[in-house]
Each structure stands twice: as structure tokens, then as C-alpha cells.
Chains A and B, each alone.
Chain A
Amino acid sequence: MMIEDLQKISDAERAEAQKYEHHVHVCMETACIASRSDQVKQALTEAAERAGKPCRVKGVGCMGLCSAGPLVKVEPDGTMYKGVTPEDADEIVQKLGDSPVSRLECDTNVPFFQRQVKIVLENSGEIDPERIEDYVARDGYLALYTALTTMTPSEVIAQVAKSGLRGRGGAGFSTGLKWTTVAKSPGERKFVICNADEGDPGAFMDRSVLEGDPHAILEGMTIAGYAVGASQGYIYVRAEYPLAVERLKIAIRQAKRLGVLGENICGTTFSFNVDIRLGAGAFVCGEETALIASIEGRMGQPRPRPPYPAEHGLWGYPTLINNVESYANIVPIMRKGADWFSAIGTEKSKGTKVFALTGCIENTGLIEVPMGISLREIVFDIGGGIPDGKKFKAVQTGGPSGGCIPEEHLDMPVDFESLLQIGSFMGSGGMIVMDETSNMVDVAKYFMEFCMTESCGKCVPCRVGTAQMYDLLDKLTKNEATMADLQLLERLCDVVKYTSLCGLGQGAPNPVLSTLRYFRHEYLARIQEANHEAAFLTD
């Protein structure tokens, strides 16, 4: 595999595309397929054949507005159609090059599309994720080739460090620093792991990236492998994401065939393989030491850190663990440079962040925005506000370790530090909007139930503490709790937060603490309305 070969594929692919006057992109992601987009694609292909139009129909990754699926985009004019059914196919094809089918048209001249900045999602919705040629035609694997042939591993790390990229899995640890530690840690073998165990309820950023642009992850991981000196990578992905797994398998096969993965990549002495490991329904495996235990075939129980996986990871070897979105940033950084990347975002949080915007909001879907954008812009401009004339109440970020942010903090910029300051957490990118009808004690109970059932059971505070806190919240929602119960709840929040072994337990009290901080009156109302006798009565 040489640069000429990449160029040849790219040229051929572009030439093939030139043959068609019209390009019809159909979203082929889990959510749109659930709304029959596979049938829409089939119908469009047949309609194009029947009409004999110079038109190419292709399945692509997420185009963002998942609630309006199936989405179809027509290029070169950029018309977007929403809620397309197979029955609409003929009409869409008929109108190609003419005025669009107005009843299906989805206005893209709105903040939802205009305010986004696409780095991670640059290929989503553009390429066919099951064809490596399409990826190559958009300069795919060029960054890898350049890194391998013109840069030393430490130069690669320097570029990542200079970009200011911070881990997108939640805590925001400096990616460059992590890579440096792994590179410097002595070990006869090293490993690179991609954490695709996206377990936060209400988050699907990683699934979309894996389904829509799997080669970007492979390329990012391979560059990382070169930088830290690893020859084996693992993608740990949830078994609940069968389509992502399938696309990754296809991508790995194609990349190997092309010589951009496997032995002697791009004709160099560097070899790197990637295997997929399936999760099996345990949220705690998102924690890196638990994830490692799971890849090793054991129960996903975290162990105390230090030692950190960067020094003592998979089978005791130095191991680099980044999440999907972090790896997806690597290729653009390598291709366009650290300065370009660090010009986006805020002083301490560079680049963009992908969010899964869901809940009580007009535009549900996947968005990518520059760091530093305000929550208000996300919720009211991009998200289109709250439907049915209801009032905004809170937005929840950071999943089960995160918090509920009230109206008063909506103007705060979205970055790692600001979110922590107001008692929430960046997390992996789930953003759930709640309207006035949501009860915050119920919300806190929902997340506590999640943490309780996902606790691995290894350490006492998390195992028993989450169960006790859940019981207290249950009592509150049943209007049976007393002030003493609330005080006990607050005491347990403190103990569990500071004594639990891993992030799951340490973060478990956050939804309670943040709702207590901003919506304490809702807890007090439950206590005032309570019938304290009910708790004692005979069953």
C-alpha cells in the first residue's frame, strides 16, 4: 500500500461519482432503519432504475435529526427530506434536478444544521460506511500514511498534545499526556483499546460514529498504536449495538485487504491489528479497569488505581484507553494540524463535542458543536426549544454521574470546567432536556435505580449505599419520607461519593446532589405531603 494506491482508489471513486448527476443519501443508522430507511433506500434505488436517471443512491451514516427519520439528502443541491416512506421514492426521483418535493422537505437553513461544526461527524451522512473506497475518497487513511512515513511516534504525540484534545469519555483527561505516559511506560507489549461501551442512558454519539464512519476509528487507533508502540488494538463495544459491530467487522476486513491495517502497514515495518470484543450488558465496564477485566474474560469489576492502565493495563502491559469520540478526533487533527484544532473551542476545552440531544425537545438527534457554546443555544436554537408550549425545567448532562442544570445556568459555556462547577459533568455527551412536567425527585430516583443495578458489588459504599439511597428516594416519591430520611440521604451521598472504589459509585450521588441543589423545594414538598404512617403499616 503506497500513497499512489490510495490516490488511485480516491481518483477512481471520485471519477465514478462524477458519472452521476444526482446523489441520494439515505441514512442507514439504527434509528432511521427502525423507521424503515432500509426499505426507503431499496425503493429509491428501484425508482432511479425505472426512471433511468443518472442518479446514485447510497446508504450513509447519521445526518443528525433522528426524530425526523428516515432522512434522505439529495446532492449536489443539498435538499433534505424527512419522514420519507418507500411510497415517496418515485416522486423524489422524478423531482431530481427540479424543484424539491415540498411536503417532505426539511429546512436545513435553521440553527439545527447551521450552528453545528463537524469534525468528528465530518463523514457522517456523506460516505457509505460499508465501503472503504468512499472513505479514502475523502482523504481517508492519508493521515495514517503521512504519520507512518514522515513522522516519528513522538512527533505524532506532540501534535496530539499540542492540539489540546481532552478525552471525550467524560473526565476530560489530556489525550496527549495519556499517550505520552503509555509511550514512555516500559513493556515488551503494549495495547490500544477503544472504549465503545457507551452505556450512559440517553447517549448514542459513539454508536452513530461507529455506524457512520467506522474507518475513522480504525485509522485513529492505528495512529495511536504507532505513537505509543502498540501492535494490537481492541474495540470494546456493547453487544446492544449489533449494527455498529457489523460495520466495524466489515471495516476491519476492508482495511486489512487494503493494507492500512495488519502487517507492514503502508509498506512500513509497523504492524497493527484490531479485534472486537463484545460487552455483555454491564455499564461499569465503561470504567477502564473494569473494561480491561472484561476483555480478559472476567467479571467487570474495577480495581483501585493507581497503577493506571497506562502503566499496568491489559494483562499487565501498558495500555492506552480512549473512547470512540477521542479517536475520531485524531484523524482530523493529524490531517489539518494542531493549530487548526486548538483554534476551535475555549481556552481549556478545545475542539467540538458531540451531544445526543433528547428528551422533551423539538429537535431530537445528534449534534456536534464547538466547545464553549452556551446551553441556551443548544436547547433553544439548535434544539428548537420545548415542544407543546411547555416550559423548560432542566437539562441533564453526564449520564448517571452527571447533574440536572436549571434555567439559571443556561448561559454558561459548555466546557469541562464549567459543567463541573455547577454540579454536573461533561460525561460522554448525553443531553436530556426536561420540561415542567418532569419531577426531579423521580429523575433522581431513576438515575439511582440505574446505579444500583449497575453497581458491580465489589465495594461496600456503592453496593449497599446505592441500594439504600434508592430506597430513600423511593420512599420520597411514595410520599412516605420524613426530614430524617432526607438528612440520611444527604449523609449517604457524601459517604458514597468519597469512599466508593470507582467512578460509578463516586458519581452515583451526583444526580441527587444536583437536584437537591437546584430543586430542593420538590423534595421538601414530598415530605410535607407525606403520610408517615404508611411506611409502618401491615402489608
Chain B
Amino acid sequence: MLRNYKKPAPPSDDKRWRLVEATMRRHGHDPNALIEVLHTVQESFGYLEEEALQFVAASLSVPLSRVYGVATFYHFFNLKPQGEHSCVVCMGTACYIKGSGAIVEAIEQEFGVKPGETTPDNKFSLLSARCLGSCGLAPAAVLDNSVAGKLEPQQVVERIREWTK
């Protein structure tokens, strides 16, 4: 690495970049910290925008295509902004056996979005998870960051309807 190489400045004066820079500093700008840093970016901004990827790549001295590869390999990362509200339906085996498929179908029908999609008005994103580890409450979903269990499709649809009013 070049000894006098200057670390790039953040893309804007948005204060959230400080959180990202703090994570990078904590890891000594080590290229190995890429995933940790991407987590911080997503936590701070909600998704990984292109200029963020560029900034992280330059700061950690990681090739652009590798940053993009990592960001798209891991399904936890979003490259597009998410809706104001989100519903993550668990598709783990226990939830599947207990009918989480019907919940997804009901949401698809009512709001016209498939898992991974956001409504055009940006109000609501439907997501699916591999397993929330809340199998005892199957079928379960995360409605705006809180886990809810033993759900009926209609119950979830009504909750989302309130969000999208």
C-alpha cells in the first residue's frame, strides 16, 4: 500500500458518514472489515447506495468489483432504498409448514409486491427471511422491527393496510 495515500473524504457532509468512518477506524481501515463496514452503512442509510460503495472501496483499498460482489452475494444487504415500513415474513421450515406461504400470497395479492419488492409509493417493502429462529411462534414475521408470531394472513394484511393508507 502506498504510504502517503490519503484516505478519501466522505461523499457528503451527511453526519451519518461519521458512523461509517468510525467503524473503518475501529478496524484500522483493514480490507478484511468490508462486511462490517457495509453493515454500518446499511444501518445508517438503510441501503447501500453507489457512492457509499465507492467511498468504502476507496477507504478500505478494496477493488470496486469485489465490493459489489460482496454487497450482492449477501442477501442481507440492499442496494435499493427500502419502503418506510417493512414486513419480513419468515420462510423457515416450521413457518412454511404452518402456512407462511399463504401470508406472502395474501400480501402479494393485496399490495402487488413480491418478496424483495417495495410498493411504488415507497410506503412498504415485503421481504422474506430464511429463518427468524422464532419457530415456536410459527408462522412468524417481523413487522417494522418487532417479531410477531402465530399470524393469520388477514391479520398481517390489515396491519400493512394501516401503513399504506
Q: Which among A278, A280, A454 has the highest number of chain B CB atoms within 10 Å? A: A280
Q: Digit string of A239-260 for contact with B (CB within 8 Å is 1, else 0)?
A: 1110000000000000000000
- With A31-B149, A282-B75, A297-B33 as contacts: A358 and B130 at CB distance below 8 Å: no
Chain B positions 106-132 with a Cβ under 8 Å from a chain A Cβ: 129-132
Q: Digit string of B26-40 for contact with A (CB within 8 Å is 1, else 0)?
A: 000011111110110
How far, in whole Å, are A295 and B33 apart by their CA atoms in the complex?
8
- With A67-B137, A281-B130, A297-B34 as contacts: A456 and B73 at CB distance below 8 Å: yes
> Interface segment, B5-13, B14-22, B94-102, B155-163?
B94-102
Contact B137 A202 (CB under 8 A): no
Closest beta carbon of chain B to A432's beta carbon, Å: 5
- With A34-B146, A280-B77, A430-B93 as contacts: A299 and B135 at CB distance below 8 Å: no
How far, in whole Å, are A364 and B135 apart by their CA atoms in the complex?
8
A-B pairs with beta carbons under 8 Å apart, 22 shown? A30-B147, A31-B147, A34-B147, A66-B137, A202-B94, A204-B135, A204-B136, A207-B133, A240-B76, A240-B132, A240-B133, A277-B36, A281-B130, A294-B35, A298-B34, A298-B66, A358-B97, A358-B138, A365-B136, A399-B93, A438-B97, A450-B130
Contact B91 A201 (CB under 8 A): yes
Contact B149 A278 (CB under 8 A): no
Please give, as numbers and ranges, the residues of chain A lying within 8 Å of B148 by CB-CB distance: 34
Q: Which among B66, B76, B130 has the highest number of chain A CB atoms within 10 Å? A: B130
Answer whether residue A90 sits at the interface, using C-beta atoms and an 8 A cutoff. no
Chain A positions 425-471 with a Cβ under 8 Å from a chain B Cβ: 430, 432, 434, 438, 446-447, 450, 454, 456
Closest beta carbon of chain A to B149's beta carbon, Å: 5
How far, in whole Å, are A300 and B77 apart by their CA atoms in the complex?
14
Please give, as numbers and ranges, the residues of chain B lying within 8 Å of A201 by CB-CB distance: 91-94, 96, 130-131
Please give, as numbers and ranges, the residues of chain B lying within 8 Å of A282 by CB-CB distance: 73-75
Answer whether residue A472 sits at the interface, using C-beta atoms and an 8 A cutoff. no
Please give, as numbers and ranges, the residues of chain A lying within 8 Å of B36 by CB-CB distance: 277-278, 297
Contact A31 B136 (CB under 8 A): yes
Since A201-B92, A240-B132 are in contact, a sample of 10 more A-B pairs with Cβ atoms closer than 8 Å, ordered by chain A residue number, is A31-B149, A34-B134, A34-B149, A35-B149, A66-B134, A67-B136, A204-B134, A204-B135, A282-B75, A364-B138
Please give, as numbers and ranges, the residues of chain A lying within 8 Å of B91 by CB-CB distance: 201
Please give, as numbers and ranges, the residues of chain B lying within 8 Å of A66 by CB-CB distance: 134-137
Contact B131 A203 (CB under 8 A): yes
Answer whether residue B140 sits at the interface, using C-beta atoms and an 8 A cutoff. yes
Contact A239 B76 (CB under 8 A): yes
Please give, as numbers and ranges, the residues of chain B lying within 8 Å of A430 by CB-CB distance: 93, 135
Q: Digit string of A192-236 for contact with B (CB within 8 Å is 1, else 0)?
A: 000000111111100100000000000000000000000000000
Q: Which residue of A lies closest to B62 (CB)?
A: A297
- With A34-B146, A282-B75, A450-B130 as contacts: A239 and B137 at CB distance below 8 Å: no
Please give, as numbers and ranges, the residues of chain A lying within 8 Å of B136 by CB-CB distance: 31, 65-67, 69, 204, 358, 364-366
Contact A200 B97 (CB under 8 A): no
Contact B76 A280 (CB under 8 A): yes
Q: Digit string of A11-42 for contact with B (CB within 8 Å is 1, else 0)?
A: 00000000000000000001101110000000
Contact A359 B93 (CB under 8 A): yes
Closest beta carbon of chain A to B99's beta carbon, Å: 11
